[in-house]
Chains A and B, each alone.
Chain A
Amino acid sequence: MTALLAARGLRLAFGGVKAADGVDLDVRAGEHLAIIGPNGAGKTTFINMVTGYLKPQAGEIAFEGRPILGLSPRRIVRLGIARSFQLPQLFTEHTVLQNAALAVASRGTFWSAIRPLLDGAHVAEASELLGRFGLSDLAGRRADALNEGARKLADIAMALALKPRLLLMDEPTSGVAASEKMAIVETLVRVLREAGVTAVFVEHDMDVVARFADRVAVWNQGRISALGPPATILEDPAVQRDVIGIRVREGADAAA
């Protein structure tokens, strides 16, 4: 089986901190791959490198067999890789519908058309998309008037509106109230399966990982220290000690 995305030997250090220290990672077409690991390990850096925001000091990244390293974020999006953000990046002066419609419009005949954003095809597609995410009721609201859960979903909806073949999600449930979390995950699992999109997501909540992921990669000290199905990885004593244990302690600190 050929990889949709193939990263080889990625290295990137910030000062003395090695965010990536020789990372090899394949993303298979159709799978949902979770990346877990301690804070500051470089998980977000991986998304930033794939999307062209950061340039690794060494290594190669190929998407559908085509090298993409050194391309601008804009070019990489056009090739079919979209991302969402840990802190949702919505256009806060626009309504949710306008946000989604702008994402839809950015895909197609954006330059040729000087016709209203909120007419016809853009709006039909954007509304349908928001419906799939359960955001129809909020479509007319300004994006800065949403709660964190809806913001996260809208952010991901905008990425999906680009019709990517690979979707990268940076902590899709962080900052969301615990009671809302699983509802969001259920929505995401359903929408992404329907869309048939390959997804990579960085996540700290192991319940979310267990529900969502086909495979789990453990990112530790700039390397992939373990890779496999969730059942195996999440039960691995070493992973529990290095990653999950840390999460539990952090959770306890936050509660204290």
Chain B
Amino acid sequence: MPGWIADNALLIGLAVLDGLSYAAAVFMVAVGLNLIFGVLRVLNIAHGSLYAIGGYSAAALGLFVVSRGLPGWLVFPTLLAASVLVGLVLGPPIERLLRRTEKEEPVLQLLVTFALFMILEDLQKLLFGVQPVVFDAPLKMLGTVDIPFGQDVIPFTAYQLFVLPGIALVTLAGLAWFLRRTLYGRMIVAVTTDREAARAMGIDAAKVTLLTFTAGAALAALGGALASPTASLVPGVGAQTIVLSFAVVATAGLGQIEGAAVTSLLIGLGRSFAVYFEPELEVVVPYLIMVAVLLVRPQGLFGVPETRRI
């Protein structure tokens, strides 16, 4: 085993690096998905499209900044601005639509988000075209960090090593603090736990839902924006992202943001190791992890089993 590790140091290093940055992006999507499920009780299939549109918007704005010869560091606030913009523009109307169908059966609500997914996929193609979009300015700007791995020295891009995981960690810590320590955060938790009781306590559940949905949408867009410099954008990235985020959410169990983080890491690393060592299994690994986990723990790694009162 140690011999194998030494022989494959380069690949392992790359797999870890890719896995980390991938996990960071997936976490941003999955955590928003989880928050939204909490307040609306619907798994938003269109959430992956928000990731894709976030990525495209960030790339478009970033390329604009670069083409106008503006200072290079501006691309970073641009990534953030693009995500907030996507969240604000797309979040509230989608939330409105979902609240309109709140009283319908869960299946119909799910199908509303599927319809939105279909609409957003084509909207994205109409706005940004079907040619791959490459925007690696942020990656190039920060350069690389040489890290010794066995006999090899691997140049890691500083962006993937620090920026992506860093922002994911800040998001995790920020959300944990926000949900537990602030009034608004506690309102979100209250609405998630028991919507009716929260309403009875005078919490404006509609407002809380709108806020949560918009924030969740912006997080997904931010995930896409942050990942956009690391891979070229192609149609279908939204469809890929959403199924992976579903796998994260189902594996983690519902309602746990720390759980979503750990599971994103597990699935992100699992997938990137597959990419480097068994490329045939790349798409399969996340689902194998999910199926294995649910076989042992039907409520997910961090979920709490529900007991029905009769």
For the residues of A in contact with B, the DSSP-based class is loop
Decide if B1 is an interface residue (CB 8 Å cutoff): no
Chain A residues whose CB sits within 8 angstroms of the CB of B310 once the complex forms: 48, 53, 85, 87, 89
The complex places the Cα of A87 from the Cα of B310 at a distance, in Å, of 7
Residues facing B in A55-109 (CB within 8 A) are 85, 87, 89
Distance A87 CA – B309 CA, assembled complex (angstroms): 10
Residues of B within 8 A of A53 (CB): 310
Question: A interface vs B, CB < 8 Å?
Answer: 48, 53, 85, 87, 89
Instruction: Give the interface of B toward A (CB within 8 A).
Output: 310
Give the residues in chain B near A87, CB-CB below 8 Å: 310
Given the complex of chains A and B, what is the CA–CA distance between A142 and B310 in angstroms?
Answer: 21
Q: Which residue of chain B is the closest to A53 with respect to CB atoms?
A: B310
Complex-state Cα separation, A48 to B310, whole angstroms:
9
Question: What are 5 sample pairs from A and B whose C-beta atoms fall under 8 A apart?
Answer: A48-B310, A53-B310, A85-B310, A87-B310, A89-B310
Q: In the complex, what distance in Å separates the CA atom of A200 from the CA atom of B269?
A: 57
Bound CA span A48–B307, Å: 13
**Distance, CA A48 to CA B308, complexed state (A):** 12
A53 to B310, CA, bound (A): 10
Q: Which residues of B contact A85 (CB under 8 A)?
A: 310
CB distance from A207 to the nearest CB of B (A): 26
Nearest chain-B residue to A51 (Cβ)?
Answer: B310
* Chain B: minimal CB distance from A144 (Å): 14
User: A85–B309 Cα gap in the complex (Å)?
Assistant: 11
Q: How far is the CA of A89 from the CA of B310 in the complex (A)?
A: 8
In whole angstroms, what is the CA distance A160 to B31 when docked?
49
Residues of B within 8 A of A48 (CB): 310
User: Complex: how many Å from CA A100 to CA B310?
Assistant: 20
**Cα distance A53–B307 when bound, in Å?**
11
A83 closest partner in B (C-beta): B310
CB-CB nearest in chain B for A170: B310
B105 to chain A, nearest CB (A): 11
In the bound assembly, the distance between CA atoms of A89 and B309 in angstroms comes to 11
For the complex, give the distance between the alpha carbons of A85 and B310 in Å.
Answer: 7
Instruction: Closest B residue to A87 by CB, please name it.
Output: B310
Q: In whole Å, how far is A15's beta carbon from the nearest beta carbon of chain B?
A: 13
Q: How far is the CB of A232 from chain B (nearest CB, A)?
A: 32
Taking the closest CB of chain A, its distance from the CB of B310, in whole angstroms, is 6
B309 to chain A, nearest CB (A): 9
Q: Write the chain A residue with the least CB distance to B309.
A: A87
